[in-house]
Amino acid sequence: DFLNINFEIYKDANISLTVYDIFGTEIKSLINGFKIKGGYSYSWDLKDCNDKSISSGIYYFRIEMVTNFGLFKENEKFIYIK
């Protein structure tokens, strides 16, 4: 199983894309680095940082962007059912 995550960056920025469970525990860091502005798609294999498949539940993606204008954060909720 895979989940495609699409996002847009409006300014060149250092970004991180991280998955958390409903309790705020980090499940996996998917992206951490500099990206130029534009549209991106990331295909996640639904595995945690220990390479184990996640269980059914509620999860959040958090994207953080650091630009010369400051830090921007956005969260998106998703429900995974096996």
pLDDT confidence of residue 17: 97
Residue indicated by tokens 């921007």: 72
Residues 6+ apart with CB under 8 A from 23: none
36: confidence class by pLDDT, cuts 50, 70, 90: very high
Check the CA dihedral 75-44-55-29 and report its sign: negative
Q: Mean of the pLDDT values across residues 54-69?
A: 93
Residue 43 corresponds to which tokens in the numbers above? 């295909």
Residue 33 gets the label, from left (phi > 0), alpha (psi -120 to 50) or beta, of left
pLDDT confidence of residue 33: 96
Counting Cα atoms < 13 Å in the Cβ hemisphere of 68 gives: 2
pTM: 0.88
**Of 20-29, 32-41, 61-70, where does mean pLDDT reach its minimum?**
61-70
40: confidence class by pLDDT, cuts 50, 70, 90: very high
